[in-house]
């Protein structure tokens, strides 16, 4: 499945990548390595530079400074090899309205110099449940189907590294789960996966490591487990009789609505302190819910911190 790769090279290696659009600094010195076989998440708010970084990796945008290698091949100097190693699923739902699904995939394969590739194209269409629409014009497909064709197009040349730029944006739950099952299978088969998504629970569930970008800089880069541990904390949802919170807890409040408070706590000892104050104030607890930290929480904290 994987097109030749040596054991010691990184799937993706970015070194001090900068990208300027006039006065706008879209990437301000991004460095990261993605190991072969990893499931890597690239997170960040809108405008953080995720798509720009992907575009630089894919050769669609040219870095103002720095370098990127894909499976050891420089994306500028050795662009032919770098692009053969890379499959990109773009964020926008783009298609050529002149052609059918099968034609679209044959063309994409041919662009990579693979002109007798029908067996693999059929396999990809099967896996993505596209066979029934193989001869349908791209215009006639639903949004979800078009998204699957985009994934299939990224796979026609069997790239060892696959980049998915928000592949589940605007996709219904059923298709999203089907898509993830397929991407996980690719990862198990040895493909390196780089993913950007706004659905942080997906990233938490799927990614081995995560980089968080803000304003063109990496502000966090670690394994998903370490990120969750480093930014450990608890979310406490609380409703008290009378509706008011005892004094001294204001600093922990994240939000409040109709007498329901959401508090962010450092650890269990902080929880003990909250309960102590509640007892001291003589307030009765009507509802209490405690949640372990999730990636969304980590994400918000990282973004706040930087």
Partner 1 sequence: MGGFPTLLYKELLRFWKVSFQTVAAPVLTALLYLVVFAYALGDRVRPFEQTSYAQFLVPGLVMMSVLQNAFANSSSSLIQSKISGNLVFMLLPPISYVEFFGAYVLASMVRGLAVGGGVLVATVWFVDLRLAAPGWVFLFALLGSAVLGALGLVAGIWADKFDQIAAFQNFVILPLTFLSGVFYSIHSLPAAWQAASHLNPFFYMIDGFRYGFFGASDFPPLASLAVVAVSFALLGAGALALLRSGYKLRQ
Q: Binding residues for partner 1, per CB under 8 A? A: 21, 55, 58-62, 79-81, 83-84, 86, 88, 90, 92, 94-99, 103, 106-113, 115, 153, 157
Contact 161, 191 (CB under 8 A): yes
Q: Which is nearer to partner 1, 110 or 246 (CB)?
A: 110
Contact 141, 65 (CB under 8 A): no
Contact 160, 192 (CB under 8 A): yes
What single-letter DSSP state applies at residue 64? S
d(CA 230, CA 224): 10
Q: Which long-range contacts (CB under 8 A, 24 or more apart) does 207-211 make?
A: 207/39, 207/40, 207/41, 208/38, 208/39, 208/40, 209/34, 209/38, 209/39, 209/40, 209/41, 210/40, 210/41, 210/42, 210/43, 210/295, 211/32, 211/40, 211/41, 211/42, 211/43
Beta 260-265 vs 253-257: how paired, if at all? antiparallel
Q: How far is the CB of 181 from partner 1 (least distance, A)?
A: 25
Kindly state the tokens that stand for 225.
């487990």
Q: How far is the CB of 117 from partner 1 (least distance, A)?
A: 11
Tell me if residue 221 falls in helix, strand or coil.
strand
φ and ψ at residue 274, rounded to 5 degrees: -60, -45
Q: Which is nearer to partner 1, 19 or 264 (CB)?
A: 19
Q: How far is the CB of 15 from partner 1 (least distance, A)?
A: 20
CA atoms within a 13 Å half-sphere pointing along the CA-CB vector of 44: 24
Q: How far is the CB of 276 from partner 1 (least distance, A)?
A: 57
d(CA 26, CA 15): 15
Q: How far is the CB of 158 from partner 1 (least distance, A)?
A: 13
Q: How far is the CB of 37 from partner 1 (least distance, A)?
A: 22
Q: How far is the CB of 115 from partner 1 (least distance, A)?
A: 7
């Amino acid at each position: 499945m994987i097109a030749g790769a040596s054991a010691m090279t990184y799937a993706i290696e970015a070194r001090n990548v900068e990208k300027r659009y006039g006065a706008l600094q879209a990437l301000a010195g991004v460095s990261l390595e993605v190991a072969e076989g990893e499931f890597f998440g690239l997170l960040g708010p809108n405008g953080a530079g995720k798509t720009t970084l992907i575009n630089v990796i894919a050769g669609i945008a040219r870095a103002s400074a720095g370098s990127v290698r894909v499976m050891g091949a420089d994306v500028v100097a050795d662009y032919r090899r770098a692009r053969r190693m890379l499959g990109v699923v773009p964020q926008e739902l783009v298609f050529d309205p002149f052609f059918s699904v099968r034609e679209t995939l044959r063309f994409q394969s041919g662009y990579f110099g693979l002109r007798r590739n029908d067996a693999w194209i059929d396999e990809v269409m099967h896996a993505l449940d596209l066979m029934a629409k193989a001869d349908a014009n791209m215009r006639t497909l639903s949004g979800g189907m078009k998204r699957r064709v985009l994934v299939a197009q990224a796979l026609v040349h069997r790239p060892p590294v696959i980049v998915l730029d928000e592949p589940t944006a605007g996709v219904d739950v059923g298709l999203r789960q089907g898509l993830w099952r397929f991407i996980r299978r690719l990862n198990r088969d040895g493909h390196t996966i780089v993913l950007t998504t706004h659905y942080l629970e997906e990233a938490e569930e799927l990614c081995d490591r995560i980089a968080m970008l803000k304003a063109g800089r990496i502000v966090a880069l670690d394994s998903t487990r370490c990120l969750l541990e480093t930014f450990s904390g608890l979310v406490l949802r609380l409703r008290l009789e009378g509706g008011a919170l005892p004094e001294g807890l204001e600093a922990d409040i994240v939000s409040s609505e109709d007498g329901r408070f959401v508090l962010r706590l450092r650890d269990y000892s902080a929880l003990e302190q909250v309960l102590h104050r509640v007892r001291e104030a003589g307030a009765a607890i009507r509802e209490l819910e405690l949640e372990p930290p999730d990636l969304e929480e980590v994400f918000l904290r990282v973004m706040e911190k930087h």
